[in-house]
Chain A
């Protein structure tokens, strides 16, 4: 069976620091997966490798059977933790940009979501609050018909009301052929939508299990489990 995302003995070293160590992942389609772990556990490194922003020191990672490159970038929709948008652009210029470069970009969907959140497409990014910029960025990312969505801290910078809208957007916009991989610290906010969780620690996978299994076997919420596993 071909996995959507697969890694074998993936390692990433920075000098003497092992950021990722022997990561073996098998991710199938149609799932919402939480990538969880404390700061410095390797989440960002893994996400960067998936998106071709970093190359592994050893081992391999494939998306839909290919190592990260032009072909995988066509089917992976990535929301970085950073605001990557050009400040001088207006929202409609960003829509043009995404439409030009991503064949799977659905402009009508983006325009609909923007109007739901009362963001005008004539607004300049420069005049927006940080939270609004994050919303625009998420809308752009979720308006693609991608196979894999990689969302790094998608709800970190926005208020709880917008948080609900964003989570609804995420669930509403991915189809059963696609998978969402999202990393966050705000576990209790998202645990109801997760199918699986991956716990990372010191650059290694602590475990990768289905949420139902955890709930029935351990009788705990993911949030409780996280606090126990990573107790300082």
Chain B
């Protein structure tokens, strides 16, 4: 059933998100052409307004994608549509996983499209090549790579799960469910920030007090343990959020 949920979730969000990202692609191409025209290059007003429109559009698409995915979860689970979603013969965790995976997929697509667009328009080819070179030729430490990869995966999971847990808690209220969801989100983010600082300080202590003879390897160790600390924090939050959402769906559903 998980596969079917994923399939229908993809169908439900793909159309809208595809079009808004297509708009960014189109805008990038038009921008690329306009930039190469001499008359446009000379006109400062034209250049400035073009950049303004572009920057605002990219921000709108970036934020819009996240809001759309969060709203999709809210609408499909906790409004009238929830009467169908919650009477399908599937487990609540399957709802969370299917929606989460599709949201992550679109966040990645969104990130890649926006990154590629900015690269194409704003970064000269030479600098871009240098950037790629610096990444590929850097002396990467294995542990560091693994940690970065893990941080990316856990970080990606944390994004939709934070939205979903905020919305799930928000819908427990009788009125202003969305408002409460936003408040819960802000609170969670702030608590995470504070905890993040605490974890960083704690994880730096042992290595800071350790052997400082070799300064490069010592700083790498500090970075490693800092990352390890915040990774652990993220991981714990993800598991906690997941269980909280599941509990609310199973026991505290509050459909109007």
Q: Mark A16-60, 1 if CB is under 8 A from B, else 0.
A: 000000000000000000000000000000001001111100000
Q: Answer whether A101 and B251 are a contact pair too, CB < 8 Å, given A52-B86, A73-B88, A80-B83.
A: no
Q: Is the beta-carbon distance between B253 and A53 smaller than 8 angstroms?
A: yes
Q: Does A78 contact B (CB under 8 A)?
A: yes
Q: Residue among B11, B89, B250, B255 with the most chain A CB within 10 A? A: B89
Q: Which chain A positions have C-beta within 8 A of B253?
A: 53-54
**Is B12 touching A53 in the complex (CB atoms < 8 A)?**
no
- Report whether A82 and B90 are in contact in the complex, using a CB–CB cutoff of 8 Å: no
CB pair B83–A73 under 8 Å, yes or no, is no
Residues B4 and A85 in contact, CB atoms below 8 Å apart: no
Contact of A217 with B by CB under 8 A = no
Interface size of B in residues (CB-CB distance below 8 Å)? 23
Whether B32 is near chain A, meaning CB under 8 Å from some CB there, is: no
B38 to chain A, nearest CB (A): 45
State A163–B90 Cα separation when bound (angstroms): 32
By a CB distance below 8 angstroms, the chain A residues around B86 are 51-53
Residue A86 is within 8 A (CB to CB) of chain B in the complex: yes
Inter-subunit contact A74/B80 (CB<8 Å): no
How many residues on chain A are close to B (CB under 8 Å)? 24
B84, CB-defined interface residue at 8 Å: yes
Q: Report whether B89 and A102 are in contact in the complex, using a CB–CB cutoff of 8 Å.
A: yes
A191 to B253, CA, bound (A): 33
Cβ-defined contact, A55 with B12, below 8 A: no
Note all chain A residues with C-beta closer than 8 A to B89.
70-71, 73-74, 101-102
Of B1, B15, B83, B88, the contact of A82 (CB 8 Å cutoff): B83
Question: Shortest distance in angstroms between A85's beta carbon and chain B's nearest beta carbon?
Answer: 7
* Chain B nearest Cβ from A125, distance in angstroms: 12
Q: Which residue of A lies closest to B7 (CB)?
A: A100
Q: Which residues of B contact A51 (CB under 8 A)?
A: 86-87
Please state if A82 and B80 are interface contacts (CB–CB under 8 Å).
Answer: yes
Q: Is B8 an interface residue (CB 8 A)?
A: yes
Q: Is there contact, CB below 8 Å, between B83 and A70?
A: no
- Closest CB of chain A to B91's CB: distance in Å? 6
Q: How far is the CB of A214 from chain B (nearest CB, A)?
A: 32
Q: For residues 202 through 256 of chain B, which have their beta carbon under 8 Å from a beta carbon of chain A?
A: 250-251, 253, 255
Specify which chain B residues have a CB less than 8 angstroms from the CB of A80 in the assembled complex: 80, 83
B12:A101 contact, CB within 8 angstroms: no
Residue in A48, A51, A84 with the greatest tally of chain B CB atoms within 10 Å: A84
Does A210 touch B at the CB level, under 8 Å? no
Within 8 A of A (CB), among B75-108: 76, 80-84, 86-91
Check A84–B4 contact: CB distance below 8 A. no
* A127 located at the interface, meaning its Cβ lies under 8 Å from any Cβ of chain B in the complex: no
Residues of B within 8 A of A86 (CB): 12, 76, 81
Query: What's the least CB distance linking B249 to chain A, in Å?
Result: 10
* A21–B143 alpha-carbon span in the complex (Å): 60
Chain A residue numbers with a CB within 8 Å of B87 are 51-53, 73, 76, 78
Known contacts A100-B4, A102-B89; is-contact A85 B255 (Cβ 8 Å):
no
Known pairs A71-B89, A101-B1; list 10 more (Cβ under 8 Å).
Answer: A51-B87, A52-B87, A53-B86, A53-B87, A53-B253, A70-B89, A73-B88, A82-B80, A85-B81, A86-B76
- Name 6 interchain pairs, CB-CB below 8 A, sorted by A: A51-B87, A53-B86, A80-B83, A85-B81, A102-B88, A102-B89
B residues apposed to A, CB below 8 Å: 1, 4, 7-8, 11-12, 15, 76, 80-84, 86-91, 250-251, 253, 255
Q: Which residues of A contact B (CB under 8 A)?
A: 48, 51-55, 70-71, 73-74, 76, 78, 80, 82-86, 88, 93, 97, 100-102
